Amino acid sequence: MPPGKLALIAVMLAQAPGIAQRGGSAVCYLGGTLAGLEAGANGLLSTEDPVSLVFAGKRAAVRVPYERINLLEYGQKVDRRLVEAILISPLLILSKKRDHYLAVGFEAEDGRQQAMLFRVGKGAVRGVLVSLEARTGRKVTYMDEEARKAGKG
């Protein structure tokens, strides 16, 4: 393994201890108010820590205590598969592609409100929502009825 890659792994593990051993859900950080994270960063979102929500990307990690989280919002974006229908088969126009979004709002240590927006994989979204509700004691707000159905099952 190249030395640079090994150092990167060591830094990531130091910033988010335990995430490599316990795992997490693959997500994409789409944006928010945190200067240390770049939009489009892929990483793992873990709710397994009993004290904090952990996002670990390739270049940075964030740990947010559950007690500071004051907003959980889930929504979907549904698109028809037009490109696939044109390139592969017209039958694909009948299918839909759903992207799942999770917004997490929290109060930083300095008292300022912060926010993070993630795109969560279809297979992980229910588990993440249930875990966050249990850990934070807050209910997830749903953007629309379709999101409520997908989030609750």
Gyration radius of the chain over CA positions: 17
| pLDDT score for 144 | 74
Cβ atoms 131, 112 nearer than 8 A: no
Per-residue CA distances from 131 to 10, 45, 52, 111, 117 (Å): 27, 11, 12, 25, 17
pLDDT per residue as tens, the chain (153 positions): 444 433 333 334 444 443 333 578 999 999 999 988 999 999 999 999 999 999 999 989 999 999 999 999 999 875 544 444 455 555 545 556 678 999 999 999 999 999 999 999 988 999 999 999 999 999 999 887 777 766 665
Listed residue (133, 143, 2) closest to 69, CA to CA:
133
| Domains defined along the chain, listed by start | 3-152 (2.30.29.30)
DSSP string covering 57-84, please?
Answer: ESS-EEEEEGGGEEEEEEEEEEEE-HHH
